[in-house]
A and B are shown apart, each in its own frame.
Chain A
Amino acid sequence: VYRLHGRYHEMAPNVVPMDYTKDPDVKLPMQLIINMPELKENPFKERIVESFSEDGEGSLSFNDFVDMFSVLSEMAPRELKAIYAFKIYDFNTDNFICKSDLEQTLNKLTREELTAEEITLVCEKVIEEADMDGDGKLGFADFENMISKAPDFLRYGFKNKI
């Protein structure tokens, strides 16, 4: 935790106090966090920061910061990771991953290299594969069911080293 605090501090030394006993109310804006080396190349960096931020705007207090790294670390349990993964991929925060969320995810992953018809094809296939209750979008149960069978999820999905 001390190391995390060190990193948090060095991002904005004049704002973050070294002493947390008085429980000050300090938040770091999204721009600073996105530029951290661990997150810089990540296509989902904005979504990651937004989903951990309490006020939904993207500014992280130190508590949120610690939360983020704890979930991303190796030791977090699988269910927790699945919950946060769902939040990250849910762009419009309606607790469902609908078709437009999928399209945005795909565009971020491929940096918009695919044509429009390829994108529609992939999104349709994903909904066809994973949607168990037939509502045309992925609820959390569908997502969890699909992720739990994936061999790569734990390995590549959410590991981080500090």
Chain B
Amino acid sequence: LSFSREAQLFVEKFEGALGKGKGKKFYAYKVMMTKKWMKFQRDFENFKTACIPWEMKIKEIESHFGSSVASYFIFLRWMYGINMILFGLTFGLVMVPEALMGKPYGSLPRKTVPRAEEATAMNFATLWDFSGFAQYSVLFYGYYNNQRTIGWLKFRMPLSYFLVGVGTIGYSFMIVIRTMARNANEDGGGDDTSFNFSWKMFTSWDYLIGNPETADNKFASITTSFKEAIVEEQESRKEENIHLTRFLRVLANFLALCTLAGSGYLIFFVVRRSQKFALEGLENYGWWERNEVNMVMSLLGMFCPTLFDVISSLENYHPRIALRWQLGRIFALFLGNLYTFIIALMDEINLKASSLFAFIIFNRHLGKDEDFQQLEEEKIVKYNMTIWEASLYNGTIPENSTAPPIQVDPADVPRGPCWETMVGQEFVRLTVSDTMTTYITILIGDFLRAVFVRFFNYCWCWDLEYGFPSYSEFDISGNVLGLIFNQGMIWMGSFYAPCLPAINVFRLHTSMYLQCWAVMCCNVPQERVFKASRSNNFYMAMLLFILFLSTLPAVYTIVSIPPSFDCGPFSGKTRMFEVISETLEHDFPSWFGKVFGYASNPGLILPFILLMVLSIYYLNATSKSYKEANLELKKKLQSVRNRKLLI
């Protein structure tokens, strides 16, 4: 038997050479080329996999912690990609042209640090707070000049700023929806779960492994995969006492609602207090009072999710469903916080603007009065400026002919309020403080805790590793939501502060490394490792919702609020989107403007919207019917296979 096998091997190897004389060499050559090509293909596949950033790290985490934890890191990597593109857009089309071709620092009042602040402009504390020098630079909205074209390229700066702002939002929508669609496709695909355990047992070992570290990872991933399958099996076998479970779930939901209401009230209370402080002048209070709102929001964000976690242990759901409930509740918590924060922000804009002028006597109102108030403030500033200019002429002898223009240093010119820059600054400060909080939480909550448990275990009364503190598990829901809300901040603020995507890219990059290290070093896998749902569509749906919410304020300001008259690329216009009509007038031939005018007629737009809604409905209906047909075919295939087997 062994001889025949050896002969078979020999014949296979030298088949080409044993063939007909003429084709011999060519056949051998062909065989060699095929082998080389296969080897090249394999190497290229390896290279492509190695090129995906952080792939090895994520695979390692997946093998030790399961696919749900790894799904967070995959999500983080995907976000990083999006932010890189947003960064490319804002940096390349907005910041670089202004820096290279716009008027330099110090040439215009809006580009110069005012005389009063000059002394502290370069201090680190001021820069960390993003005022001083940082405020009067390409990083923020206020620096940009409203000249229609700049430089020898005739680069249309205001148009570019507007289009980049709109384009970032449009691109984000597109890519989120495209990813959702792609995930939905994959979901309906292979659902073959017969022989699940058998395949795991007999075919999961990769016989090509020769490296002990890879072998370690492979063992861990096999174990994790078995554990995940076991959890699925146990869940499907579980028997429940329906009435008790329902009662407990209702109770848990009630407790969660109480927590949400409590946190909302607390924020409201703190915001009112901070307004009271502001009225009395912020200099009288220490650091805590000044940053009270931020600190309270961060602390709430830290402790409430743990509370939700405890509550959810009452509910006894499948771990994946429990994760979704947890995500939903924390989402509601953060939304409430965000909403109250925005209210606080609107109040603060009014506060800063009005504190500049001692003789403002109007009360602060929200909403419709804002417009009125802004106009009033601007009138006052313009009045102030004419008085100030007149005072400059006081010294010289007024002549009948026009006096020569007096050179004034831009630093001395009084400024109007620039609410866009203030808004941008607030967003940047919030992002930075959020980042700091996250990192410090990781370092203290995970790392120090692990160090404490590891080293103090020997001299402590009870077993630290199994008992109270023990090592922490990776908090998937908190981290995912933190990521999503952070992205919401970026989308909201990048119109007012073009530097935000850059800051976020930096933050995501460092966060990836820090969290990968922290997970492998300080965390232990959860007790019940469960398989993440095959698509990330749940995260995507939340992201889409946040994207929609965060574009609302920006769109509202573009359409309804007049831009500051003194700063930014849209100064002097009544509405920001007028830059489009201006471009149409000047840069395009006249017939284009006419066509556009006809096309934007409501009579055309409404039927178009109706058509789109109808086509969405039609596509939805056809896709449902395809899915059903697919399932039917699969069932038929399965029954045919089973029949063949029995025969």
The interface of chain A, by Cβ under 8 A from chain B, is 1, 37-38, 40-44, 54, 63-64, 66-67, 70, 72, 75, 85, 89, 102, 105-106, 109-111, 113-114, 118, 121-122, 125-126, 129-130, 132, 145-147, 149-150, 152-153, 156-161
- In the bound complex, CA of A40 to CA of B215 (Å): 10
Task: Let me know if B207 and A102 touch, CB within 8 A.
Answer: no
Task: Let me know if B210 and A152 touch, CB within 8 A.
Answer: no
Restricting to B222-270, which residues have a CB under 8 Å from any CB of A? 222-223, 226-227, 229-230, 233-234
Task: Let me know if A41 and B222 touch, CB within 8 A.
Answer: no
User: B2 in the interface, Cβ–Cβ < 8 Å?
Assistant: yes
Known: A110-B226, A114-B223, A145-B645. A85 touches B210 (CB 8 A): no
User: Can you show 15 pairs from A to B with CB atoms below 8 A apart?
Assistant: A1-B10, A42-B209, A66-B6, A106-B201, A106-B226, A109-B201, A111-B219, A111-B223, A126-B197, A129-B196, A129-B197, A146-B195, A153-B203, A159-B207, A160-B207
User: Which of A67, A75, A110, A114 counts the most chain B CB atoms within 10 A?
Assistant: A110
Task: Let me know if B207 and A122 touch, CB within 8 A.
Answer: no
With a CB–CB cut-off of 8 A, which chain B residues contact A64? 2
Task: Let me know if B198 and A110 touch, CB within 8 A.
Answer: no
- In the bound complex, CA of A32 to CA of B230 (Å): 38
Task: Let me know if B215 and A150 touch, CB within 8 A.
Answer: no
Task: Let me know if A158 and B207 touch, CB within 8 A.
Answer: yes
How many A-B residue pairs lie within 8 Å, measured between CB atoms?
116
- In the bound complex, CA of A37 to CA of B209 (Å): 9
Q: Binding site of B, secondary structure by majority: helix, strand, loop or mixed?
A: helix
Task: Let me know if B210 and A63 touch, CB within 8 A.
Answer: no
Task: Let me know if B198 and A109 touch, CB within 8 A.
Answer: no
Q: Binding site of A, secondary structure by majority: helix, strand, loop or mixed?
A: helix
A129: shortest Cβ distance to chain B, in Å? Answer: 5
A64: shortest Cβ distance to chain B, in Å? Answer: 7
Task: Let me know if A109 and B195 touch, CB within 8 A.
Answer: no
Name the residue of chain B whose CB is nearest to the CB of A153.
B203
The interface of chain B, by Cβ under 8 A from chain A, is 2-3, 5-6, 9-10, 12-13, 194-199, 201-212, 214-215, 219, 222-223, 226-227, 229-230, 233-234, 645
Task: Let me know if A85 and B223 touch, CB within 8 A.
Answer: no
Known: A63-B2, A109-B222. A150 touches B195 (CB 8 A): yes
B585: shortest Cβ distance to chain A, in Å? Answer: 62
Task: Let me know if A41 and B212 touch, CB within 8 A.
Answer: yes
A75: shortest Cβ distance to chain B, in Å? Answer: 7
Task: Let me know if A160 and B230 touch, CB within 8 A.
Answer: no
- In the bound complex, CA of A125 to CA of B234 (Å): 11
Closest 4 CB pairs of A and B: A41-B215, A125-B197, A110-B223, A63-B2
With a CB–CB cut-off of 8 A, which chain B residues contact A125? 196-197, 233
Known: A66-B6, A70-B9, A111-B223. A42 touches B207 (CB 8 A): yes
- In the bound complex, CA of A38 to CA of B219 (Å): 17
Task: Let me know if B209 and A41 touch, CB within 8 A.
Answer: yes
Task: Let me know if A85 and B202 touch, CB within 8 A.
Answer: yes
A4: shortest Cβ distance to chain B, in Å? Answer: 10
Known: A64-B2, A72-B207, A118-B227. A147 touches B13 (CB 8 A): no
Known: A110-B222, A125-B197, A129-B197. A43 touches B205 (CB 8 A): yes
B324: shortest Cβ distance to chain A, in Å? Answer: 26
Task: Let me know if B198 and A129 touch, CB within 8 A.
Answer: yes
Known: A113-B223, A129-B195, A129-B196. A38 touches B201 (CB 8 A): no
- In the bound complex, CA of A156 to CA of B131 (Å): 59
Task: Let me know if A156 and B205 touch, CB within 8 A.
Answer: yes
